[in-house]
Amino acid sequence: MSELFEPVLRGHDERRRAELVAAYMAVEHAAEPVPEVRFAALREPALRRALEEMLALSGRTLVRSEQTRWISGYRDDVAAELAAEPECVPPAHERAVLTLVLIHSVAIPRAAGLLADDSWLSPHPTPVEELRRRTQLPIGELEAALRRLRTAGLVAQVKAGADDAGGFVPGPQFHRLTAGARRRLQEELILAAGPDSPLAAAIRARRRGRERDRGETR
Amino acid sequence: MSVEPAVLARARARVLGAVAVGAADPVPPGTVGASDGDRVWVLPAWPDGATPALLEEYQTAPVPLDRPGQARRVLAAALRCCWTRPDDAPWPGESAAVAAVLGVYADMSRGDAVLARRWATGELRRLADTGWLLLDEASGTVRPGPRVALWAEHALPSLRDLLRRLPEPARDGDGGE
Amino acid sequence: MSPTSENGAGAAASLDDALVGEAVLGVYRQMFAALARDSGAVVDDPELVDVAETLLAAFADAGEDGLSREQMRHVCRRYPPEVFENRLRVLRGLGAVREVFPKPNQLRYRASFTSVVGLMFVRRMMLDGGQSEMHRLLALEQLNVADPRMTAGQARAGADGLARAFRLWSVELLTLTNGTIEELREQAPKLWGTEEILLRAERLHGAILRRWPRLDRTCTDLRAAIYAYGDASRRAAARLSDSAGTTRNLTLLPPETWRTFARTASREDLAAVLEGFVFDAAAPWHEPSAVVTAVEDGPRATPPRPAPPRPSVPDPGLSRDTGSGGAARERLREIAEEVLRGRDRVAVQDVLDRDWPAARRVLADLSAAHLHPELPYRLTWSDDLAARPAGAPTWVSPGWFERTTETETTAPPEKAAWSGGSGPPERSAS
């Protein structure tokens, strides 16, 4: 039995303790956000707070989805520190492929009005042909990158259907981005694809402002 | 602003998966260290002996796997060869030749043996990528991976029983010993 | 010009004016002929513009011979005859299509270049609200300013026109910025200026001022208009990014911009987008029992032990799915019955009196049995707490695991009602 969680769990009776453990394992390991109706520790605010404390021990936090579902993700400050360590960030060729999937499956359908939800998951597959023929990526890297991204749950494969060729969509890990991380992802994509747009200018101005604020409070 | 080092270390362990540090290096507090004598692998610590198998009890789907059955059969074949003293824990186990594992797998499977070996080779790599096996492609050997150290003792009897019933690894060729 | 033109309108002057005016109007008419419904109003159905476009395209392909009436009708065959006739009449009336007689008794038609240009302009305006027009204008003016033949008067007129355009854009943007967010989101990308437009405008402003320093008043106006426009653009963008949600602003770059980036960006540029993000390593879980199941259910050459006699089921693979739900239910029923051992209710505390990991599993199974719609069991808790300083969970709250009264058809038929037995006699407070 691990000592790590004892300070949080100690004060709870065995039922609540079991509920906390169940909710903890569920949000940490489920593929998709879990419904709070099934887990008392997600439903009850006091238990949910204890659950947050358990998650915080490993730099994680609850991410809410569709009002009544929950999953866990890295806290923004923890993610920022880890992202500064090169070995914690996926290699460049995997990131490049993932960015392309995000553009084709989310950004373009979103811009074309085909995607209504404010989510980084999408039913619109990025065709493999698009990745293979119409990008600047070396082909040799593509297959290997897609395989690794798939294993890691960063992309999911959509089998060819009656009227589309199938391809790849963002994987279940995108459920785990906090609202802050999702917003940042949107900003990074806009800065990259439309650096010249007024929107990019607004993003840069706001970031400069934030850095200034931080500088002053130090 | 900066995050507590132990918290960061536990988060890092999740980002990196099962990674090894030198046996003399400290394992971050609040993690489980699986040591084979030379190195220690940093594994997550779960509360109250729970494992992700708990999800099933709550009808909650884990991250889907491609061909989970095949992955688990290859893992069984590998354990048949590497977990040579079934009364002990599976970790750290022994080294076995990849050829022997592929042989056991082919014996377990129906149909084209060449094809079965090819599938199994891909599966061995994936199992190694995810910490369930340690694969040394240069020497053509495989060992149990640190993640098997997370198996609870009470969950093992049926697996021990199964492994006894699997085909025996070949003892000749390039070193099944 | 002449002081007399105010009233009375001198005949000679007015004839000239009339001729100039007629020429200007002629260009106007041809420019917008494609959009005209009749010679007095603009179309009210976009399809009418498509007819004009189809015709103009056919004229471009036909070359100097032009088209006969039959040929025109043929290229427009997918439109009803009356629509075609109406279009032709309007286009002819406004001078966009003219009759020519290459040979005696041969009537042909030719199209006006101006109308095509007008249509191109209109299409571009529809696409981006005039952004690309502004690019073109700025580029042209920049060329003009470098042209030795350009006069100060022409430069002033150009600068005034641009200043006016920027002002009107700013006003529209500011109105939108103070309006509803939905409208702003929809309209802003057509109106706001990219850094490039602003940069070009400032460059032009600098070039005019260098060549004609006396135009400084005009240039001050132009500069103010450019700044106002830049400011209005940033305000609109800031309001949108504040209300952005987490993917919504992706709609603010057109699909083409995304596609171009995806196709032309280097691997490094693409990778840089995700530089600041961390994700979980792949960590699938293989429970020992799942490994056992995978082997036992897997296809295999020879059974690892003598195969148990099987009922002759045609394809065991097909029935597995429905079977596993039933198997899970039966497993829970077995566990529940094992815990109850013939009683109708037991204290959870007694059941859990073992090492905590094992107890936790039992508890999870009892909860699952409680939640299972087809199983007649219930788990109830009271709100009291009891301290157990030596126990593995230090605190316990009294709870009962019990059989519910609704008997299922598959339950043992002789199941008795509460019979005293070995269970705790007192009832819980709930």
Average pLDDT, integer, range C392-411: 60
- C-alpha distance from C219 to closest chain B C-alpha (Å): 49
Residue C306 has what pLDDT?
45
- C-alpha distance from C127 to closest chain A C-alpha (Å): 14
Residues B120 and B38 placed together within one structural domain of the fold = no
In this complex, the residue of B8, B15, B30 whose CB is nearest that of residue A4 is B30
List phi, psi (to 5°) of C401: -110, 125
Cβ pair A197:C252 closer than 8 A = yes
- Specify if B75 maps to a domain: yes
List phi, psi (to 5°) of B91: -100, 135
Touching chains, A (3+ CB pairs < 8 A): B, C
Q: What is the DSSP secondary-structure string of C286-329?
A: --HHHHHHHHHHS--SS-SSPPPP----S-HHHHHHHHHHHHHH
Residue C283 has what pLDDT?
92
- Pinpoint the alpha helices (H) of chain A: 6-9, 14-29, 40-43, 45-56, 76-83, 92-102, 108-111, 128-133, 139-151, 179-193, 198-217
Q: What angle do CA B142, B148, B152 make, to 5 degrees?
A: 155
CATH class of A90-176: mainly alpha
Residue C44 has what pLDDT?
66
Residues B80 and B32 placed together within one structural domain of the fold = no
pLDDT surpassing 80 at residue C312: no
Read off the pLDDT band of A17 (50, 70, 90).
Answer: very high
A80: tokens are 């920022």
Residues B23 and B96 placed together within one structural domain of the fold = no
Residue-wise pLDDT for A36-95, tens only, equals 999 999 998 889 999 999 999 999 999 998 878 999 999 999 999 999 999 999 999 999
Average pLDDT, integer, range C252-261: 89
- In this prediction the ipTM stands at 0.94
Read off the pLDDT band of C387 (50, 70, 90).
Answer: low
* Residues of C with Cβ-Cβ distance to A177 under 8 angstroms: 277
Q: What is the DSSP secondary-structure string of C135-204?
A: HHHHHHHHHHHH-TT--HHHHHHHHHHHHHHHHHHHHHHHHHHTS-HHHHHHHHHHHSPPHHHHHHHHHH
Average pLDDT, integer, range C169-194: 80
Residues B36 and B88 placed together within one structural domain of the fold = no
From the first residue on, what is the mean pLDDT of each consecutive set of 10 residues in chain B (177 residues)? 88 92 87 91 93 92 90 96 92 94 90 85 92 94 96 93 90 47
Please, are residues A191 and A204 in contact by the beta-carbon 8 Å criterion?
yes
- The Cα–Cα gap between C109 and A156 comes to 59
Residue A62 has what pLDDT?
96
pLDDT surpassing 60 at residue C144: yes
Cβ neighbours of residue C236 under 8 Å, at least 6 residues apart? A198, C173, C176, C177, C184, C188, C191, C192
Which residue has better confidence, C255 or C379? C255
Domain A6-80 part of CATH 1.10.3470: no
pLDDT surpassing 80 at residue A186: yes
Residues B120 and B159 placed together within one structural domain of the fold = yes
Cβ pair A26:B61 closer than 8 A = no
Instruction: Let me know if A14 is exposed, middle or buried by CB neighbors in 10 A (0-12, 13-18, 19+).
Output: buried
Q: Does the N-terminal peptide bond of residue B92 adopt cis geometry, omega within 30 degrees of 0?
A: yes
Indicate the range of B36-45, C115-124, C136-145, C408-417 predicted with least confidence. Answer: C408-417
> Which SS3 state, helix, strand or coil, does residue C387 take?
strand
C13: tokens are 């002057």
Residues B84 and B160 placed together within one structural domain of the fold = yes
Cβ pair C291:B159 closer than 8 A = yes
Nearest CA in chain A to C237: A199
* Residues of A with Cβ-Cβ distance to B62 under 8 angstroms: 29-31
Cβ neighbours of residue A192 under 8 Å, at least 6 residues apart? A99, C261, C265, C269, C270, C272, C273
Instruction: Give the domain ranges of chain A.
Output: 6-80, 90-176
B28: tokens are 């971050």
- The Cα–Cα gap between C398 and C416 comes to 25
Residues B37 and B77 placed together within one structural domain of the fold = no
> Which SS3 state, helix, strand or coil, does residue A34 take?
strand
Q: Give the closest residue to A30 by CA, choosing from C58, B62, C55.
A: B62
Read off the pLDDT band of C321 (50, 70, 90).
Answer: very low
List, in order of start, the domains of chain C with CATH numbers.
12-120 (1.10.10), 129-258 (no CATH), 325-403 (no CATH)
Q: Give the closest residue to B164 by CA, choosing from B62, B61, B87, B69.
A: B87
pLDDT surpassing 60 at residue C415: no
Read off the pLDDT band of A114 (50, 70, 90).
Answer: confident
Range with the largest mean pLDDT of A94-108, A113-127, C123-137: A94-108
Residue B4 has what pLDDT?
93
- The Cα–Cα gap between A158 and A27 comes to 25
User: Above pLDDT 90, what percent of chain A?
Assistant: 63
Residues B103 and B151 placed together within one structural domain of the fold = yes
In this complex, the residue of A13, A107, A183 whose CB is nearest that of residue C385 is A13
Nearest CA in chain C to A113: C251
Average pLDDT, integer, range C24-47: 66
pLDDT surpassing 70 at residue C428: no
Which residue has better confidence, B171 or C10? B171
- C-alpha distance from B64 to closest chain A C-alpha (Å): 7
Cβ pair B50:A38 closer than 8 A = no
How are the residues of chain B apportioned to helix, strand and coil, as percentages rounded to the nearest 5? 45, 15, 40
Residues B31 and B110 placed together within one structural domain of the fold = no
Instruction: Show the domain range for B103.
Output: 68-165
Residue C244 has what pLDDT?
63
Range with the largest mean pLDDT of A157-171, C108-122, C149-163: C149-163
Residue C325 has what pLDDT?
59
Q: Where are the beta strands (DSSP E) in C308-384?
A: 345-347, 377-381
- Specify if B57 maps to a domain: no
- Pinpoint the alpha helices (H) of C94-130: 113-128
C31: tokens are 């420019």
Structural domain count, chain B? 2
Residue C359 has what pLDDT?
75
Nearest CA in chain A to B45: A2
- C-alpha distance from B42 to closest chain A C-alpha (Å): 13
Mean pLDDT for chain C?
A: 75
Cβ pair C268:A92 closer than 8 A = yes
Average pLDDT, integer, range A183-191: 93
Average pLDDT, integer, range C268-282: 95
- The Cα–Cα gap between A213 and A207 comes to 10
In this complex, the residue of B50, B109, B162 whose CB is nearest that of residue C300 is B109
Residue B157 has what pLDDT?
94
Touching chains, B (3+ CB pairs < 8 A): A, C
